[in-house]
Amino acid sequence: MSAPAIPSPAPAPVAPPPVETMTVKVNGKTLQVPKTMPDWQGKPQATTMLQAARCAGVDIPHYCYHDKLPVAGNCRMCLVEFGTPMIGPDRKPVLNEDGSPKIAKSVLPYEPGTPRGAIACATPIAPGMEIYADSPATKQMREAVLESLLINHPLDCPICDQAGECKLQEYSVQHGQAGSRFVEAKVHKPKAVDLGPRIVLDDERCILCTRCIRFTKDIAGDDALGIVNRGSYNTIAAWKEGAFDNNYTLNTVDLCPVGALTSKDFRFKMRVWFLKETKSVCTSCGTGCSITIGSREGVIQRYEPRENDGVNGPWMCDSGRLNYKWVAREDRLKDVMVGGRRSTWTAALKEVSAKLAAAPKGSTAVVASARQTTEELFLLKKLADKLGAQTASVARTGEADKLLVAADKNPNTNGATLNGFAAADLPKVAAGIAAGSIKTLVVFGEDVTQHGIGADLLAKLETLVVSDILPNATTAAATHLLPGAAHAEKRGTFVNVKGRLQKFTKAVEAPGDARAEWEFLHDIVLDVTGQDGFVSIEGLFNQMAKEVPAFAGLEWAKVGDTGVNVPL
Amino acid sequence: MSFAVPATLEARLDELTTHYPQKRSASLMFLHALQEHFGHISDEAVEWTARKLGLTPINVHELVTFYPMFRQQPLGKTHVKVCRTLSCALAGSAEVRAHFCEKLGLDAHAHAPQTTADGKFTVEFVECLAACGSAPVVLVNEDLHEKVTAAKADDILRTGK
Q: Which of B133, B32, B151, B153 is nearest to B82 (CA)?
A: B153
Partner-chain contact B59 A223, CB within 8 Å: yes
What residue spans define the domains of chain B? 7-66, 78-159
Over its length of 568 residues, how does chain A's per-residue pLDDT go in tens digits? 444 444 444 555 667 677 899 999 999 999 999 999 999 999 999 999 999 999 999 999 999 999 999 999 999 999 999 999 999 999 999 999 998 999 999 999 899 888 999 999 999 999 999 999 999 999 999 999 999 999 999 999 999 999 999 999 999 999 998 788 999 999 999 999 999 999 999 999 999 999 999 999 999 999 999 999 999 999 999 999 999 999 999 999 999 999 999 999 999 999 999 999 999 999 999 999 999 999 999 999 999 999 999 999 999 999 999 999 999 999 999 999 999 999 999 999 999 999 999 999 999 999 999 999 999 999 999 999 999 999 999 999 999 999 999 999 999 999 999 999 999 999 999 999 999 999 999 999 999 999 999 999 999 999 999 999 999 999 999 999 999 999 999 999 999 999 999 999 999 999 999 999 999 999 999 999 888 877 899 999 999 999 999 999 999 999 999 999 999 8
- The alpha-carbon gap from B144 to the nearest alpha carbon of chain A, in Å, equals 28
Measured CA to CA in angstroms, residue A185 lies from A152, A188, A232, B109 at distances of 8, 9, 12, 12
Query: Which residues touch A459 (CB under 8 Å, ≥6 apart)?
Result: A477
Contacts of B49 in chain A (CB under 8 A): none
Return the CATH number of the domain spanning residue range B7-66. Answer: 1.10.10.1590
Contacts of A239 in chain B (CB under 8 A): 46, 56-58, 61
- The alpha-carbon gap from B159 to the nearest alpha carbon of chain A, in Å, equals 34
B62: nearest CA partner in chain A: A228
> What burial class does residue B11 get, using C-beta atoms within 10 Å of its C-beta: 0-12 exposed, 13-18 middle, 19+ buried?
exposed
Partner-chain contact B62 A227, CB within 8 Å: yes
Partner-chain contact B56 A239, CB within 8 Å: yes
In DSSP terms, A182 is beta-bridged to none
- The alpha-carbon gap from B71 to the nearest alpha carbon of chain A, in Å, equals 12
Q: Which of A297, A259, A83 is nearest to A164 (CA)?
A: A259
Partner-chain contact B58 A230, CB within 8 Å: no
Q: Which of A188, A228, A235, A236 to mutate to test the interface with B (most CBs of B within 10 A)?
A: A228
ipTM confidence score: 0.84
B44: nearest CA partner in chain A: A239
Out of 3.30.200.20, 3.90.79.10, 3.40.30.10, 3.40.50.300, the CATH code matching B78-159 is 3.40.30.10
Residues of B in CB contact (< 8 Å) with A are 46, 55-59, 61-62, 65-66, 111
For residue A415, which amino acid is it? G
Of the partner residues A223, A229, A238, the one whose CB lies closest to the CB of residue B65: A229
Partner-chain contact B61 A237, CB within 8 Å: yes
The Cα A35–Cα A55 span in angstroms is: 12
Partner-chain contact B59 A226, CB within 8 Å: yes
* A349 and A523 Cβ atoms separated by less than 8 Å: yes
Domains and CATH numbers, chain A: 21-149 (3.10.20.740), 159-167+184-328 (3.30.70.20), 337-565 (3.40.50.740)
Decide: helix, strand or coil at residue A424: helix
